Structures are given as C-alpha cells and as structure tokens.
Structure 1
Amino acid sequence: MFDSRHIRTFHTVVRAGSYSAAARELGYTQPAVTQQMKALERDAGVALFARAGRGLRLTEAGETLARHTEGILAGLTAARQQLTALGRLRAGRVRVCAFPSANATLVPSAMAQLLAEHPGIRVELLEAEPPESLHRLLRGECDIALAFGYPGTATEVPDGLEEIPLMEDLLTVLLPVGHPLGRRHAVRLADLAEERWIAGCPRCRANLLHICAEEGFTPDVVFTTDDNLAVQSLVAAGVGIALMPALVLSFMCHRKVTGRGVEPHRRRKVCAYVLREHRALPATTVVLDSLRTAAAARVGC
C-alpha cells in the first residue's frame, strides 16, 4: 500500500527533475524528500531512481509508476471531493450543473416547486455544456448534472454515473424572416443543402454534420458559437441558418427569425445524471423528482 503523500512527492520530483527542486516547490527540506522517496521504494520493493551524473533518472519501475501517478492523484482528489459532496447532500444542499437552455427553462420550474414543497433544500446552480458537466460530476464539483445527447452520435455514460431520462427536445430550423422556405409549415433538411449554416457547441455541431450526412450533403458551416442569442442574431442578419432546440426557442426568439419544423423530425435527449452511490439520498431524490415534473410539464406545452 502506497502512502498518498509519498506519491504526491514522487510526482513533484519527477516533474521538477530533482530532490532539491521538489523540496523547494513543496516547502520541504531535501532530506525529507529523500526519506520519503526511500520509503516509497521500500513499499514498491524496487528502485525508482538511479543516479545519472549529478542528477537523477527514473528506472524502468520508476517510469512505470510515473505513468500512473497523475491518475492516482486525480482519483484521490475526486474521491475526496465526492465524499465532501456526500456530506453536503446529507445536509440537504445540492449543486445542480446544467447546460444554458436547461438552466433557463427546466431548472427555474423545478426550483419553484422545491421552494414550495421542500423549503429546507438548498440548491446551488452551475452551468456547463456536456460532456464537461459530466466531468464536473465525476470530480465531485456538482451533485446532479443535466446534459443532452443526440441519436446516432456517441454519448457514452461514464462509469459510476446513473442516467435519468427527462424529456426529448424537438429541433427546429431557424430562418431569417422573409426566407422563401419560411412559408412552409415544415422544411426537409435536404432542401437546405445549399444554405450557409451557423453551428452551436461541439456536440450540436457534431449532430448537425451527422444528420446532414444522412440526408446526403455536407453543410457549409460559416460560423460556430455556443451563444444562443448570437446564433439567432446571425440568422436574423441573413448570415446563415441554424438548428435550434425547442427549449431555447421557448424563452428566446428573435423577432427577425422564423422557426420551422424539420422533416424528418429530429430530437435531442435531455437527461439528469448522478453518482450511482448518491442516487437514493433524500436530497438527490427530491431535486430529481422536481426536475422530472418540470420536464413533463415542458413536454406537454
């Protein structure tokens, strides 16, 4: 069993290049670093360093350990943060990390229900697009993450997380007012093959490329931005057209933009994610129930 302090010191020695440099960085004396590395070698049962002139070099065993130290330290940090998160949840404090359009629609409705029915629950809101929101959940930086995914594109759920489906969000094509296709009730994607496009976040852009490829063309993406207001303003200015989820259009719709349904229908799946071991905690359950209620009401709109 390795001592985590020794692993951290080893990692610093490898990065700094010497015991003395590591000692300065860590605020230790050089003999203290030397003793820690000797203790680590005893635990490992092999030499980790060899002398190279006046410096040090890693042995084969040292190189092997060095390849694992970042993962070991990241795992220890994540474990500590997740334990802290567990204590917060037991106290009724929940951090929800959601993508922008969910924070503007689903989350406010859910929070209003919580305040009315469970005033003792305290919620902190954070914002991040997937997959960063899921990474923050794994690192213990939030307790519930809301994320979206598209059919046909890779959206693997990381180990240790539980996925709770909330709703399907219909996609709409945005056209500038006066566009010839704006007179139609719905627009076929294939009819948009010659248009210029505004793409969104990386996951949305990947979906755009995927569904256009299914219709037999590659979209001419002239701008990319994850700012929904900027996307609508670019469309209004006639720079290009875009795909926009219904959640966004429910609270933000530029007066010089026309939204039309897409044929065939395209949707994104919106889900909540939690650490599997935190799923049954009362605070988590209450917040998830409120999010499900908010999503069900949204689907019915």
Structure 2
Amino acid sequence: MDLPPHLLRALLAVLDTGSFTAASERLGFTQSALSKQIAALESVTGATMFVRGPRGTEPSEAAHRLAARAAVILDQLDAARRELDQLAAPVSGRVALGGFPTTAMWLVPQAVARVRAEHPSVTVDFLESSTPVQIRRLRAGRLDLAILALGADLPDYDLTGVETEPLPSGGALVAVGRRHPLARSRSVTVDALACEDWIAGRGGRGEPQFGAWPTLRNPHVVAELADWSTRLGFVAAGIGITTVPALAARSLPGDVVALEVDDPAREPRAMFLAHVGALSGPLAVVRAALRQEAADLAGRGQKMPE
C-alpha cells in the first residue's frame, strides 16, 4: 500500500481540528481539495475514513488506527529531512575542549580525528588540565566541553549550573613492567600488590593524582613524578608499578603491561562530559565523537600481556 505523505497529513489535520473546514484552513487548501485528498486516501486504503453520525461527519475506527501510525511515519520523515538538510549545510565552528591528562593519551586524539574526518568545518582546541581547573574554566566560558573525573576518592566538587553526563571509562588498572613477575597475569588481587614499590603522581595543590592502589594500607611509594611519560618510564625499568586509568591502557609503551585488579572494596572513579548551557551544533558533534570513542575504548578492553 503506497500512501503519499500529504494524504496522511490531511487525515491528521481533520482529526486534530475536528472539522474539514478548520483542517482546510490549517493546510491552506479549499475544503473541496481536502475532501478529494480524503477520498484518495480511502481509495488507496480501501477503508472508509469518515462516516455520517448523529452529530455530523465523524472519524471511523480505521481513521483512528491509521492516524496513530501516520503520526509516527510523518515524524520519521521529518527527522530524515532534517538529517539531509544538515548534510547539505555542514556544521561548522570552533569548540574549546578540556580534559585531564590521561584523556589526551588516546580518547581525545581519536575523538578529534573522528571530528576532522566527519566534520572538517569543526575545529577542536584542546586544553589539558585537572578536573577542578576545568570546572573553573567552564564557568568562566574558557571551555565549551570538559571531561571530568569524579568518584568516591576525589573531592566533592561544586557542579552547580554544570550539566554532566557519564562517559564509559573502564575503571582503573595496575601498570607493571613487561619483565615484572606479575606481567603474565591477566588479573591480580590486592594482596599480591601489598609488597610492591609504587610510582605515584605529583601535581599542583588540590589536583588529584593517581597514586598507589587506593585500598592498600601503607603502600611503599618510591617516587612521585608529575608526567605520565616519566612515571611509565620508571615502571618500564622495573623500579615500581603504578595505577593507571583503563582509558590510557591502549597507549601504554610496549614494555609496560596493564593488569586488572580483583578488588570488591574499590569504589571506582567515573568519567563525565560536562558543559554549561545548551549544546550548539559543533558542540553536539564533538560530544557524539567523544561518546563513540569512549564506548569503543571501553568495549575493546585493556592492553593485556602477550
């Protein structure tokens, strides 16, 4: 059954307004032209749409059932038209994106590459900084979007006026050198980490860092280093091990291995995408790219020992 959309719109107009006269005025047709469209609809469907009743012309059961389907069909057609219009007029603009350091290892570069490939008229400026700095920059208007780290072991940041949505993050892992005795394991227990030397992060005051595994008591920290490349260099050399977010696992050096930790007591950090105010076209493009890359990264899993 081939139903032209304009016949469905005519049916909905009559049902919505309650009369052929009001429907013809809404659609800009004469009442005679509208009646011909309803007659054509009845001819195509083989069903009577309106019947004479005690109070004049009334819609039939067939009209009500077809109208319920017609509303969905026309909504889909309108959505398709909007999508095609967007393709005809590419989204363009500049987006200031912020992220904490480990987002720059894989997630952000892949998302920016996706945006460049799919929407070359959208430019992304990336600013790397800690979560509290990003929140300040969002409120000051220096950032349009920000990737934040939140969790039980982090401060309770004031997010008043900031819209957030979760991004897949995969939790935390432990990174060890490839020659480390644990390197051949797929996962380790917390007890197995108790006697290890740890490489911890060091940042500015108030900036959270990854340190030893958070549920360990009195871990032995042998170095506190600011840069991830330096920390992983110490790990690769066998000087200690370190905690890394799963989203950084795919960009670890070849001589560093990431392991899962079996720790029911661990309350993981979570990753959120934040913004202030409505999302414009360019911001929606970057948001979609980040969501897709984060989902892909979480789905592919961590880098396991060979």
TM-score by length of 2: 0.59
- The answer to whether residue 109 in structure 2 is matched with residue 104 in structure 1 is no
Q: Determine the structure 1 residue equivalent to 2:223.
A: 223
Structure showing greater Rg: 2
Measured at CA, do residues 180 and 118 of structure 1 come closer, stay the same or move farther in structure 2, by a change above 3 Å? closer
Aligned-residue offset at 1:270: 1.6
- What is the distance in 1 between the residues matched to 2:271 and 2:166? 6
- The answer to whether residue 215 in structure 2 is matched with residue 211 in structure 1 is yes
Contact 1:172 1:246 in 2 (8 A): yes
Within 5 Å, give how 1:137-152 maps onto structure 2: 137-152=138-153
1:125 match: secondary structure: strand
Within 5 Å, give how 1:203-282 maps onto structure 2: 203-205=208-210, 208=212, 210-212=214-216, 217-255=217-255, 257-264=256-263, 267-275=268-276, 277=277, 279-282=278-281
Aligned-residue offset at 1:155: 3.9
Greater helix content: 1
Please give the per-residue CA displacement for 1:111-141, whole angstroms capped at 9, x wherever unaligned. Answer: 2332333332222121112221222222222
- What is the distance in 2 between the residues matched to 1:226 and 1:172? 19
2:171 match: secondary structure: strand
Contact 2:171 2:270 in 1 (8 A): no
Residue identity opposite 2:127 in structure 1: L
Within 5 Å, give how 1:58-97 maps onto structure 2: 92-97=93-98
Contact 1:233 1:254 in 2 (8 A): no
Aligned-residue offset at 1:159: 1.4
- What is the distance in 2 between the residues matched to 1:227 and 1:195? 21
- The answer to whether residue 272 in structure 2 is matched with residue 286 in structure 1 is no
Measured at CA, do residues 124 and 258 of structure 1 come closer, stay the same or move farther in structure 2, by a change above 3 Å? closer
Measured at CA, do residues 182 and 118 of structure 1 come closer, stay the same or move farther in structure 2, by a change above 3 Å? closer
Mind listing any 5+ residue stretches in structure 2 that lack a counterpart?
A: 1-90, 301-306
Contact 1:137 1:274 in 2 (8 A): yes
TM-score by length of 1: 0.60
Q: Determine the structure 1 residue equivalent to 2:137.
A: 136
Within 5 Å, give how 1:137-216 maps onto structure 2: 137-201=138-202, 202-205=207-210, 208=212, 210-212=214-216
Contact 1:209 1:218 in 2 (8 A): no
State the number of aligned residues: 204
Please give the per-residue CA displacement for 1:84-127, whole angstroms capped at 9, x wherever unaligned. Answer: xxxxxx97221111123222322222223323333322221211
Please give the per-residue CA displacement for 1:188-212, whole angstroms capped at 9, x wherever unaligned. Answer: 1222222221112552347x46422
The sequence identity of aligned pairs, in percent, is: 31
Contact 1:107 1:291 in 2 (8 A): yes
Within 5 Å, give how 1:40-55 maps onto structure 2: none
- What is the distance in 2 between the residues matched to 1:167 and 1:250? 15
Q: Determine the structure 2 residue equivalent to 1:296.
A: 295
1:180 match: secondary structure: coil
2:157 match: secondary structure: coil
Aligned-residue offset at 1:243: 1.0
- What is the distance in 2 between the residues matched to 1:91 and 1:243? 39
